[in-house]
Structure 1
Amino acid sequence: MAENTREARTEAVRALEAEFGELISRMRRVLADNAQRVSPGMLPGAYKVFTTIVRRESVTLSALAESLMADKGQISRTVRELEELGLVRRTPDPDDGRSSLLSPTAEGLDRLAAARAPQESVLLDTLEAWSVEEIRDLARLLHALTAGETP
């Protein structure tokens, strides 16, 4: 079968879909494990909210809800839980007095680093035989796929 036929492309995309399914299953387990290490009983959804705040460094509740494509009320409840755990803090938004900025606390960053450490070493070990260029290529291609762009 020629490599550029519709059938070959369909077969390749189906194989990619299967691999993504496996990756998603594995990542769900990783996220659930990391959430438990950050705070026993933490749900993966709360972990996702927390790590998004960490990645954004400082974000409003509205922008966070939009980023996660989630209900603002649910995000607000989750953020309150993260605040009670000492992982997140609110500060007044200097650009909008009616709003607050959410950011991680030093304790939150420390707990997240400790929670991620076991999995990060597994990923580093798994990619040991890969060149830095191959790792960067994979990241670039995944970004293009996620963004719907041509690499």
Structure 2
Amino acid sequence: MSDQQTTEARAEAVRALEVEFGELASQFRRHMQDTANRISPGMLPGAYKVLGTIARLGPITLSALAESLVADKGLVSRTIRELEGLDLVARTPDPADGRSSLLSITASGATRLADARRPAENRLSQALDAWSLDDIRHLTALLHALSSGEVPGEALPGNTER
């Protein structure tokens, strides 16, 4: 294969990968919307993401939450007020800084979040059920390399090109 053909084949493969990532992103957005609606009808996916982040990282300050989400602090603050109104999130004084508050998921919020996530808990496991353990581990390693900007440590089996 000539250098030109290799370059074209690589560009085509990257475009095909981009299409598949687009499809995966669309499925993920639908999943986020469905889960948000199970928590509270009409809840936006962004509010679900904020709630899930608080559940995972909390108690957390508004500033740290906005930084974690790479989001505008004002937008996050408005979302927090919405979540407080739904009794999903509560503020408590930050003992380290009296001017600040810590955000935590409420008991009701934790229950509703768990209930909303339950239908999809096994979706990935079911999708990968017919995959070999080696294929799952290999995909994990490749995704890690892609997300971290690293070159995979080993070529795919049977692939001698990089």
Structure 2-normalised TM-score?
Answer: 0.81
* RMSD between superposed Cα atoms in Å: 2.2
Alignment size in residue pairs: 151
Structure 1 residues without counterparts, runs of 5 or longer: none
Flag as ranges the 4+ runs of structure 1 deviating above 6 A: none
Structure 2 residues without counterparts, runs of 5 or longer: 153-162
Change over 3 Å in CA distance of 1:63–1:33 after alignment to 2: same
The CA distance in 2 between the partners of 1:135 and 1:9, in whole Å, is 24
Counterpart of 2:83?
82
Deviation of 1:13 after TM superposition, in Å, equals: 1.3
The alignment status of 1:112 with 2:79, answered yes or no, reads no
Counterpart of 2:158?
none
Deviation of 1:132 after TM superposition, in Å, equals: 4.4
Change over 3 Å in CA distance of 1:85–1:126 after alignment to 2: same
Structure 1-normalised TM-score?
Answer: 0.86
Higher relative contact order (CA 8 A, sep 6+): 1
User: What are the superposed Cα offsets for residues 60-105 of structure 1, whole Å, 9 maximum, x if unpaired?
Assistant: 1111112222211111010111111111111222222211121212
Higher-Rg structure is 2
Counterpart of 1:125?
126
Paired amino acid for 2:148: A
User: Which 10-residue stretch deviates more, 125-134 or 111-120?
Assistant: 125-134
Counterpart of 1:40?
41
TM alignment of 1:1-150, pairs within 5 A? 1=1, 5-150=6-151
